[in-house]
Structure 1
């Protein structure tokens, strides 16, 4: 069986991405499960390797076909965009543009079928904007690069999966955007993930918007009945096991103890908070609804520790494991 080829984008070169990549690829057992290929800058990886005390050899490549995928060696499609003297830990438009270019190349390879999945190291949203790319983050860029109209963000942590109806918009904008069709499509994308994961039980809990799920109209302006209940009823009509809308505080507690296989969060912080409390180091971000597979670390560029060699690679390792699990067989 051919091991899946996973493209790892370097993210923001001034953040911890290069360091956690070099630390992750030092785990030789990873090469027993996939063929890792970095899309980034070889010299930056070499510098990161010196910082973390790695003895890995970085190979600068121009094509996927030149990669050898050997333990002890980091194969890198080298775009050569980062100046040698660019400091770690400081916002840079150059690094922001480079992060976009790494993702663009990885997406082109995935769409062409040359890689089975994309796993992304973190980028900095402000640097991305300063570099001329006006997207809120990876998720929206991937949607644009693949011509996908609508995608969902899913976060995973030990014993918890959370898919989001809305993500990188303000809370008032999120409430306005939520409507039954969007909620139903989000639940459907989440249900498809559970099916692909091979789960025999696929129980989905849906968060309310208001405290205590609105207390039958006592809190809010009837958002649950107007925006969420019709979607849940439509999903139940398909035979799916969907419960809600439920108060988020008790729903996440119940999900953590195993009552649900997935939670549907209405907005960014409603879903992100519980996942990061349960395990920032092992959290993974998965973009659902794309024609390509994409997983990511569930943390940022960590400018405060970038370049110090102390960044934790566990989230990237878990993101790689998820990418391997989702990748098509023999890809």
Structure 2
């Protein structure tokens, strides 16, 4: 089976849905890609590029773009460009499902789109951001993690954080 990738949409009122839409409109996946988040945030940008799954476990082994809308987000429709606690809720639940998919071996890597840290916290997720959320959920401990950014000519690891 091809090694699958998971992508969380982040805050559906933010840049994530547009980033995912633009990227996959230009590049066909070479592996199965499971997108987690509210479907309406992608459909507002144009016709579906994805196949909707009822359960993450339904992810096919063939390359393609597949979307699972976590049940906690069923029908969530947030206007773009507006911060709201529901956007933090969507980002947090999408990350929770991503961790489940990683731990079960369903996916082998994770790409996270931007989220609004204040809205993540307003929704009840007590974390400064993605990195700390994933570190806690995956059990790396308070100092066993860092964010690593990669580009074609530069790689950077962040060793400090901010609130």
In which range does the TM-score fall when normalised by the shorter chain? Answer: 0.7 to 0.9
Q: Is the 8 A contact 2:38 2:76 kept in 1?
A: no
2:59 to 54, 67, 70: 67
Matches within 5 A, 1:197-208: none
Query: Which residue of the partner structure matches residue 13 of structure 1?
Result: 12
Question: TM-score, normalization: structure 2?
Answer: 0.86
2:127 aligned to which of 126, 135, 143: 135
Counterpart in 2 of 1:120? 112
Looking at CA atoms only, which structure, 1 or 2, has the larger radius of gyration?
Answer: 1
Q: Which of structure 1's runs of 4+ aligned residues deviate more than 3 A? A: 55-58, 67-71
Write the distance in 2 (CA, Å) between the matches of 1:42 and 1:67: 16
**What is the TM-score with the length of structure 1 in the denominator?**
0.44
Residue 163 (1) aligns with residue 157 (2): yes
Once the two structures are TM-superposed, the CA of residue 43 in structure 1 deviates from its matched residue by 2.2
Provide closer, same or farther for how the CA distance between residues 154 and 70 of structure 1 changes in structure 2, counting only shifts above 3 A: closer
- 1:83 counterpart (76, 79, 100): 76
Which structure: greater helix fraction?
A: 1
Two-structure CA RMSD over aligned residues (Å): 2.0
Give the SS at the match of 2:128. Answer: coil
Aligned to 2:32: 35
- Between the two proteins, the alignment pairs up a number of residues equal to 158
Structure 2 counterparts to residues 152-231 of structure 1, below 5 A: 152-168=146-162
- Structure 2 stretches lacking a partner, 5+ long: none
Q: Structure 1 stretches of 5 or more lacking a match? A: 170-331
- Are the equivalent residues in 2 in contact too, given 1:11–1:99 (CA < 8 A)? yes
